[in-house]
Structure 1
Amino acid sequence: MEQVKFGAELISRLMDHLSSQLKGCVGVGLSVWPDGKLLRAAGRAGELDQAQLDGGEGPLVEASRYERQVSGQVAGVDVVAVPGSWGDGGPVVLTVYLDHSPRVSDLQAIEEIEPLVATAAAVIEFCAGEVLRADQMVRMVQHRRYIEQAKGLVMGARQCAPGDAFELLVRTSQNANVKLRHLAAALVLIVGGTLEDGAEEVGVVEPPEAAFDTAHKLWTAIKM
């Protein structure tokens, strides 16, 4: 089977395609919150995404925090923000800026392209530009399941919203200098005792000791 290398060019092509499908599109962006990083941008998306990242508010931030599609305005420009996959820094959010209020046809076009953009971004983040293999893709999906499980554990213990739980996991991993996927897997092991069946077969190994230490401290703190 021919190997495929994913990169920034793929995301750019997908974003350019989306822009061409939307009349009145003034920009398309791809950013990460709460990490506060602008990944890719075309048109006015660069300045408008960055303003929300710097200010910590706006449709982009709300879409990440509440894990749902959000429409609104930024500097008088209409925007649709859609959260997708996530990396160690937070959910990847696709933003589409329009010179008019979003129409049904606009939302349909966004819904068709967003999963492809999110998947491409996740692959790039996980594989760090390497040639993608099937086992890497399976391992990436497995790690993200543990992040979802860890987020659910935090939500249950703190009775908080999904975005708040995710922000806590991200902040904890960054402060302790451990990867989010390692922290998540360690937390699942501490609370549940085991990883999912078949995890070792796809290369998901037990997290490092630092991740366990961090997960223990986190779980103790939120259970108090």
Structure 2
Amino acid sequence: MDQVKFGAELISRLMDHLCSQLPGCTGAGLSVWPEGKLVRAIGAAAELDAEQLAGGAGPLVDASRDERQVSGKVGGMDVVAVPGSWGNSGPVVLTVYLDHEPGVADLKAIEEIEPLVATAAAVVEFCAGEVLRADQMVRMVQHRRYIEQAKGLVMGARPSAPGEAFELLVRASQHANVKLRDVATALVLIVGGTLEDSAEEVVEPPAVAFDVARRLWEALRK
């Protein structure tokens, strides 16, 4: 079976499933930023994702740049943009278009399916016919895990919602112009001394990431 064709078909089926679970869903898309590449799109996403990528503005682009979930309106429709995996070229972003403002049930359904879509995209984008690219995909999954671990540390040190903890990490990384994944990994190493999954080939974050993470942790503990 052709690997790329299978992967693209898998992504489409996952998107179809997501839309079937969301009443009022008018489309879903998957893209990579800052490359501005539309990986897959169904329904309204085909036009509206392309419009945001071409213009360099909109919830999709904001979610990519800030590495956080963003909601907004595009073309008269509500859209939820969720950055999935963090790679060397930037996050993979899932967009879901609705004919109504997203509610708790909508966001829960998106949260459940997004990791599957992001992983399928990573397989298509990084593993098609190139064995070494599989290592890149593994690192993307690791980065995602470290960001989640760092969020947990922030929430434990200063009681806050997951979104607030994530925003704090984003602000710290942006203020120092350091990649979020590096700050998150450094924070996990500083607090825990090691990484939970005991990965053997993790690239150690740069010194500046440790400086940012250390200052953030000290501020949280005050």
TM-score range, shorter chain: 0.5 to 0.7
Check 1:157–1:113 CA distance in 2 against 1; reply closer, same or farther (3 A cut). closer
Check 1:130–1:148 CA distance in 2 against 1; reply closer, same or farther (3 A cut). farther
Q: CA RMSD in A?
A: 5.1
Within the alignment, does 1:209 sit opposite 2:215 as a pair?
Answer: no
Show the 5 A alignment for 1:45-194. Answer: 45=45, 47=48, 53=59, 64=69, 77=77, 81=80, 83=82, 85-87=84-86, 92-97=93-98, 114-121=114-121, 131=130, 133=132, 134-194=134-194
Deviates more, 1:167-176 or 1:81-90: 81-90
Q: CA deviation at 1:215?
A: 0.7
| Bigger relative CO (Cα 8 Å, ≥ 6 apart) | 1
Q: CA deviation at 1:216?
A: 1.1
Report how many residues are paired: 202
CA distance in structure 1 between the aligned counterparts of 2:151 and 2:83, rounded to whole angstroms: 15
**Do the aligned residues in 2 keep the contact of 1:169 with 1:180 (CA within 8 Å)?**
yes
Check 1:195–1:24 CA distance in 2 against 1; reply closer, same or farther (3 A cut). closer
Q: Report the AA paired with residue 28 of structure 1.
A: A
Question: What's the TM-score once normalised by structure 1's chain length?
Answer: 0.59
Taking only the aligned residue pairs, the percentage that are identical comes to 54
Instruction: Map Cα deviations across residues 3-28 of structure 1 (whole Å, 9 max, x no partner).
Output: 9679xx96698348845986986432
CA distance in structure 2 between the aligned counterparts of 1:118 and 1:12, rounded to whole angstroms: 14
**Do the aligned residues in 1 keep the contact of 2:59 with 2:81 (CA within 8 Å)?**
no
Check 1:84–1:132 CA distance in 2 against 1; reply closer, same or farther (3 A cut). farther
Aligned to 1:223: 221
Q: CA deviation at 1:188?
A: 0.9
| Structure 2 residues without counterparts, runs of 5 or longer | 63-67
Helix, strand or coil: the match of 2:95?
strand
